[in-house]
Amino acid sequence: MLLNLCAIVLAAAAGISAGVISFPTYEIELYNGYDLKGSVHERHSGTFASPSPVTQESFCMTHQFMVNKHQSNNRLYSFKYTVHDLNSGLNMKLRLYRTPDCKDEYIAGEMSIDIALLAVILLSILLCLLFTRQSPRDPNQRLVNDLGWAQSSAVSDKEQSTAKNLPAFTTRQLTQSTFLITEWDDIWNEHPFIYAKIVPAAETILIVDTGCGGRTLNTDIGLTSLREYIETVGVADNGGRPLNEGRRMRYVVVQTHCHYDHILGAEAFAVDSPILASGHSPSFVSPSNLPSHSQCNALGIRTPSYRLTLAPHLHQIVAGDQNSPSSVPLGVELLHTPGHTPDELALWDAGEQMLYVGDTLYERDPIIFPNEGDIVLWFSTMDWLISFVKSQANAGEVRINCGHSTAMGSALEVLQAAKSFMQDVITGKVDLWDRYERRGWWAVEYRQEGGRFSLICPERLVLEARMALEV
Ligand SMILES: [Zn+2]
């Protein structure tokens, strides 16, 4: 059985090495070694089934299916497997994920075994030693290494020390000037999308959101500061150089809204750089309201403290002092787009025809409204954004980039599809998926068939929208 487990795990690792692009997070349970049932644990759960009985081949097929299914969603996260053998009581947790340079796959894992199973453990070590000696090539080597059989591994000390200092971020290039930075294993499973636009003429990097501050439970992650990452870690898509090597460029930071998963890395930039936010509702982001509106209070974490520069609707972002003739425009405009929160904003990069929408919408993860959200306002914002994109000469070419999950989508199509889903929710065409009490109020969840869009919000917001829209 142990050998079977090893074979399955190693086969999964081999499957991963076959040139995949993205790794969402899953937990897969192998019951009795023969039935594979799984639950998907990204930000929210789902389920899937696999051919049964499970063989090495069907396990790999299921794994590859999951990878392929999510290949297009631009996420670079880990797979988590829980392998549980009911006969022996053996549990094995594995984590499979990519290296930060996105070239190679990296594999880590841990094992938890009942003390009574010591004999099984010893046997497993012997078997796996044998097995890995027969298959000495990476990435299996790293898997075995991290499972605790370090002595059997040919991985060098240098590589091991690197493994414990992985950055909390990965980066890939989206356009000539713009990079997508993903926080790939944060403690809250938010996996925020952070965008960095390099404007050489202004010697400036525009940073859109600053993520979760590198907070993680992953002990392989050692570098958690977004700013340090940008300044010191080489990016394959940037010729192997850090995005801001040697701090040559200054920063302008924009927060799409004040939720914790978009602001926890802001303090490191605020010491010498402006942090722009929506001026639509100044009190919403005031220092006295930030702890609750950022949700830091609810999570029991310290609210970051930094000074905001509130910008009006249609504000043209510049590098340098706004009122100085030496300021340089970055070619990006801020748009007030309240709905998700009162301070939600979008950015429009006319040169690259890119729209950034924060948490107003995204695909495959639930669109979440907090108590301060407003669905009626959200519809107005969506109508405005749709007509804004339509007013562009090449509307069909405009790309949309969201705060999670979606990047480089077709803006018009994604905006219209998200609006259509929400209309179906409000008009009762989508069945209620779940209703539960949350922090003293009722939350409701709706899911579109096929899973592209879903919604979680206070029930009150749906009822208010039905009243306002006379449904
Ligand atoms: Zn949010």
Closest to 209 in 3D by CA, of 356, 73, 24, 384: 356
SS3 of 49, please? Answer: strand
Q: Does residue 462 carry a pLDDT above 80? A: yes
Concatenated DSSP letters of 262-281: HHTT-HHHHTTS-EEEE-S-
Residues whose CB falls within 8 Å of the CB of residue 461, separated by 6 or more in sequence, listed in order: 369, 373, 374, 375
pLDDT at 324: 80
**Cα of 212 to ligand 1 centre, how many Å?**
12
pLDDT at 163: 54
How far is Cα 5 from Cα 459, in angstroms, rounded to an integer? 45
How far is Cα 264 from Cα 251, in angstroms, rounded to an integer? 16
**Cα of 340 to ligand 1 centre, how many Å?**
7
Structural tokens at position 455 = 């919604």
Distances (CA, A) of 343 to 57, 380, 384: 50, 15, 16
Structural tokens at position 374 = 């407003």
How far is Cα 317 from Cα 117, in angstroms, rounded to an integer? 62
- Average pLDDT on 314-337 reads 91
**Cα of 356 to ligand 1 centre, how many Å?**
14
Q: How confident is the model at residue 60 (pLDDT cuts 50, 70, 90)?
A: low
Q: Are 382 and 391 a contacting pair, CB within 8 Å?
A: no
Q: Which residue has the tokens 């969840």?
A: 445
E strands present in 282-414? 309-311, 315-319, 328-336, 345-349, 354-358, 367-368, 399-402, 409-410
Q: Are 83 and 68 a contacting pair, CB within 8 Å?
A: no
**Cα of 247 to ligand 1 centre, how many Å?**
29
Q: How confident is the model at residue 332 (pLDDT cuts 50, 70, 90)?
A: very high
Q: Does residue 79 carry a pLDDT above 80? A: no
Q: Which domains does the chain have, with CATH numbers?
A: 2-163 (no CATH), 169-352 (3.60.15.10)
Host H or E run for residue 14 = helix 2-16
Q: Which residue has the tokens 């025809």?
A: 353
**Cα of 199 to ligand 1 centre, how many Å?**
27
Q: How confident is the model at residue 322 (pLDDT cuts 50, 70, 90)?
A: confident
Question: Which residues partner with 409 through β-bridges?
Answer: 400
Distances (CA, A) of 326 to 56, 202, 315, 322: 64, 10, 17, 9
Host H or E run for residue 250 = strand 250-254
**Cα of 257 to ligand 1 centre, how many Å?**
7
**Cα of 46 to ligand 1 centre, how many Å?**
21
**Cα of 50 to ligand 1 centre, how many Å?**
34
Instruction: Tell me the pLDDT tens digit for each residue of 166-189.
Output: 999 999 999 999 999 999 989 888
**Cα of 70 to ligand 1 centre, how many Å?**
22
**Cα of 359 to ligand 1 centre, how many Å?**
5
**Cα of 259 to ligand 1 centre, how many Å?**
5
Host H or E run for residue 425 = helix 411-426
